Homo-oligomer: A and B are copies of this chain.
Amino acid sequence: MSITKSDLNNMDERYRAKLINSVSGYKSANLIGSIDDAGQTNLAVVSSVVHLGANPPLLGVVFRPHSVSRHTLENILTTERYTINHINQHITEQAHQTSARYAKEQSEFDATGLSEEFIDDFSAPFVKESVIKLAMHYKAHQTLALNGTVFVIGEIMALHLPPELIGDDGHVDLVAAGSVCINGLDGYYNPSLIARYPYAKP
A residues within 8 Å of B by Cβ? 1-5, 8, 11-30, 47-60, 62, 64, 84, 86, 89, 92-93, 96-103, 106, 111, 119-120, 132, 134, 139-140, 142, 144-147, 149, 151, 153, 155-163, 166-167, 169-172, 174-175, 179-181, 183-202
The reply to whether B62 and A51 form a contact with Cβ atoms under 8 Å apart is yes
Note all chain B residues with C-beta closer than 8 A to A17. Answer: 54-55, 170
Q: A25-B181, A62-B51 are in contact. Are A186 and B157 (CB under 8 A)?
A: no
Q: A27-B51, A166-B19 are in contact. Are A190 and B194 (CB under 8 A)?
A: yes
Candidates B57, B162, B190; contact of A191 at CB < 8 Å: B190
Cα A106 to Cα B202 with chains together (Å): 10
The reply to whether A21 and B51 form a contact with Cβ atoms under 8 Å apart is yes
Question: Of residues A1, A193, A201, which shows the largest number of chain B Cβ atoms within 10 Å of its Cβ?
Answer: A1
The reply to whether B62 and A60 form a contact with Cβ atoms under 8 Å apart is yes
Q: Report copies per complex.
A: 2
Note all chain B residues with C-beta closer than 8 A to A183. Answer: 171-172, 174, 191
The reply to whether A24 and B28 form a contact with Cβ atoms under 8 Å apart is yes
The reply to whether A50 and B52 form a contact with Cβ atoms under 8 Å apart is no
In the A-B complex, the 9 residue pairs with the smallest Cβ-Cβ separation, listed nearest first, are: A25-B28, A189-B191, A18-B170, A15-B170, A100-B200, A26-B181, A20-B54, A19-B170, A22-B172
- Beyond A23-B156, A101-B201, 15 extra complex contacts between A and B, CB < 8 Å: A16-B57, A17-B54, A19-B54, A24-B28, A24-B84, A26-B26, A26-B174, A53-B146, A56-B147, A89-B194, A92-B194, A99-B200, A171-B185, A183-B191, A191-B192
Note all chain B residues with C-beta closer than 8 A to A102. Answer: 202
The reply to whether A145 and B140 form a contact with Cβ atoms under 8 Å apart is yes
